[in-house]
Structure 1
């Protein structure tokens, strides 16, 4: 399977993209891959924009520009895209499980294959950060600094645990209406915020909140969301509900956590985060046809295929790329947008200038560790690939759902 690469000259890049396009089975729904790629890249850019590591006399500590500049909350609306990832995940897992059953494949074999794709790249991240943390502590680094770095590096893994649990429960969720987990979230928030119940009750929303878009993905597989009306209902209803919750129910405007805030919309998910996710899912469903047309362009499709082939590598290493850049930059002193307090427009402008550097370091991580994610794929092909086995080119990029 040819990998598209940005290191090629323009002519060679177009030729490589054309090969990837030709190697992709014609019946593949490329809009699904495009939505997954946009969801992953949205999370990456969001973290890079709202995560600051401030250097002071005591070491490095995490901060957020949303703390001192709450007017930047719309940034979190654009880049908090996990609901779309769970929507796509529910759709792909439900469809994949149905195909596995039709082939006579056991649940255990199907689940092992699904989870191995998720967790295969995790071992490298854990190993590197275990060694790094030990070396930092042994060389006299401040414990607070080490704790901050390790927490940021490993924080994306909570998402994998939730996603893995929902994937394992897919056979039980194929017919679940998204309204039921939404009702659970509503009642947990009523108990916490309306009746003073213990805050730990909110952790029930960690599963229920992300089950809402996951169940929507299952409904998509069943054909219940094919009409544009479904997308419009989710988009307008979710938007209106979120606006009402923020304006009149006291929910935070930011859809990501803000240090020092009394309530976070993500930790655990609140009703506002879930209704916002419904709006995002509605928009994603409405964009499907446009995305399918856009993905007919070989270069656009090759880029999306590349992200999908390395989705977990990109997701797991993007925070490491940020921290590696920050740590290296300390050799030159406290640099604006990298080590300074995120409290004004100057920091925002400087941080935007750092984004290409983060991307370059992430590309290095990708080149080093992508084999951890792709190892073993050649031994197991999707049904789509099997149906095209006489044509070798049918094993091309994007021929599997990650």
Structure 2
């Protein structure tokens, strides 16, 4: 508690605390949402299995317009990445150094999860567990990595995309929305492969709005680069997003639900669709409308300390929340006390509260063990303020002193490191959950990830920065 108080007292006056609150709320809602809609049962072989209740609760589909908060996560990510990159450059750093330091916050907690799962799978295999069953368990635990793949692609693209933002401003997300529309056209009329780019274009569009929100704090930034943040703008975005959402889903061809439901004609989130971008617009309007009262609330020590505490381990919470569910289901099954009431019954609804509380206890234990890995990453990295624009400073000194061949080599290694990490996570996500994988993760995926993470770790230690 004393450290939290110290961190709260040292918070710069210009920091946009609301951004930190939104990040914490977004991840918390993802966790509660996943836990809340989970249905536990038994397959024909008598093994525990799980699926989403959304397919059985169509009346709840409009609620996903609020519950699907990944757009908020990418919006906040854009703001924070613009702020930290600008601050880094103002201190004489460069984009390559920024990417190296940024990788620590993302790769260290993720590496911990994958290594623990792989070791646990190996132990289970040595004890005679079926390789297919091992893969199914690990597949479920690594579902959160789907979204991390997208974010790990967006982060290294931040320097060039922020350069585009500085030149073209809000035109960039508009172009990206147009590309999403083109991909949707391919999904609806063919060829379906045309929509593959939406995984990138959709999240990049929201990320770019985060840049514009950051620049809105600077009166010197050109108007084309600034996101309108007035109450009137918030109301316009909220109303416009809702109208577009209704037209696209109720009238148009898109499903109402914003999360995956088997059997629906489209998945609005994988890849992001125009309907999901309409949700993002609606949520952005709501975010702007709530900004002033939330900012006043965050000036109080208690709420701000709570936000700091959550953000210190926010990625750990996200990465381990489904592992917590796997562990709890396994424990209850072993004790013969696993409830499996039918979806929508009074018993199922009554079970939601103890289920969430029990999962919170398990996750708290996991965060206590693995959270320090993320917390240390944040303490050791250079400050990444989410406040106003950094003061002008030299661009290219310090870290760029080793420009030339060494600088190009270091940049190439950073790109290779991120590529390895993304390739490993993507390969794992694309591998079927019933594939016979003795380590739970495909061996090529694990090798690619560890190689990429290893390169980034070496770069953080200073390797490759000397001529």
**TM-score, length basis structure 1:** 0.85
Residue 297 in structure 1 maps to residue 300 in structure 2: yes
Q: Contact 2:104–2:377 at 8 Å: present in 1 too?
A: no
Q: Contact 2:80–2:385 at 8 Å: present in 1 too?
A: no
For residues 134 and 344 of structure 1, do their structure 2 counterparts lie closer, same or farther at Cα, with a shift above 3 Å needed?
farther
Q: Find the aligned partners of 2:337 and 2:250 in 1 and give their Cα distance.
A: 39
Q: Find the aligned partners of 1:143 and 1:261 in 2 and give their Cα distance.
A: 31
After superposition, the C-alpha distances for 1:289-343 in whole angstroms (9 at most, x for unaligned) are 111111122211111111111111111111111111111111232533xx44535
Which of these residues, 23, 27, 33, is aligned with residue 14 of structure 2?
27
Q: Contact 1:334–1:340 at 8 Å: present in 2 too?
A: no
> Which residue of structure 2 aligns with residue 213 of structure 1?
206
Q: Find the aligned partners of 1:234 and 1:63 in 2 and give their Cα distance.
A: 34
Q: Find the aligned partners of 1:382 and 1:132 in 2 and give their Cα distance.
A: 35
> Which residue of structure 2 aligns with residue 397 of structure 1?
none
SS at match of 1:120: helix
Q: CA deviation at 1:221?
A: 1.4
Residue 156 in structure 1 maps to residue 157 in structure 2: no
Q: Contact 1:55–1:334 at 8 Å: present in 2 too?
A: no
> Which residue of structure 2 aligns with residue 181 of structure 1?
176
Which of these residues, 238, 249, 260, is aligned with residue 252 of structure 2?
249
Residue 368 in structure 1 maps to residue 369 in structure 2: yes
Q: Contact 1:91–1:217 at 8 Å: present in 2 too?
A: yes
Q: Find the aligned partners of 2:33 and 2:349 in 1 and give their Cα distance.
A: 13
Q: Contact 1:42–1:78 at 8 Å: present in 2 too?
A: no
SS at match of 1:61: strand
- Unpaired segments of 5 or more residues in structure 1? 5-17, 386-402
Residue 167 in structure 1 maps to residue 161 in structure 2: no
Residue 133 in structure 1 maps to residue 143 in structure 2: no
Which of these residues, 90, 95, 98, is aligned with residue 110 of structure 1?
98
> Which residue of structure 2 aligns with residue 276 of structure 1?
279
Q: Contact 1:60–1:144 at 8 Å: present in 2 too?
A: no
> Which residue of structure 1 aligns with residue 191 of structure 2?
197
Which of these residues, 67, 71, 78, is aligned with residue 90 of structure 1?
78
Q: Which moved more, 1:138-147 or 1:221-230?
A: 138-147
> Which residue of structure 2 aligns with residue 261 of structure 1?
264
Residue 359 in structure 1 maps to residue 353 in structure 2: no
After superposition, the C-alpha distances for 1:220-241 in whole angstroms (9 at most, x for unaligned) are 1121223233322222111111
Q: Which moved more, 1:149-158 or 1:53-62?
A: 53-62
For residues 140 and 68 of structure 1, do their structure 2 counterparts lie closer, same or farther at Cα, with a shift above 3 Å needed?
farther
Q: Find the aligned partners of 2:61 and 2:29 in 1 and give their Cα distance.
A: 15
For residues 204 and 334 of structure 1, do their structure 2 counterparts lie closer, same or farther at Cα, with a shift above 3 Å needed?
farther
> Which residue of structure 1 aligns with residue 330 of structure 2?
327
> Which residue of structure 1 aligns with residue 381 of structure 2?
380
After superposition, the C-alpha distances for 1:144-185 in whole angstroms (9 at most, x for unaligned) are 543332112112112222112212111222215321111111
SS at match of 1:268: coil
For residues 236 and 384 of structure 1, do their structure 2 counterparts lie closer, same or farther at Cα, with a shift above 3 Å needed?
closer
**TM-score, length basis structure 2:** 0.74
Q: Find the aligned partners of 1:250 and 1:344 in 2 and give their Cα distance.
A: 31
Q: Find the aligned partners of 2:353 and 2:261 in 1 and give their Cα distance.
A: 20
Q: Find the aligned partners of 2:82 and 2:327 in 1 and give their Cα distance.
A: 38
Q: Contact 2:39–2:50 at 8 Å: present in 1 too?
A: yes
Q: CA deviation at 1:142?
A: 4.8
Q: Contact 1:235–1:278 at 8 Å: present in 2 too?
A: yes
> Which residue of structure 1 aligns with residue 49 of structure 2?
61
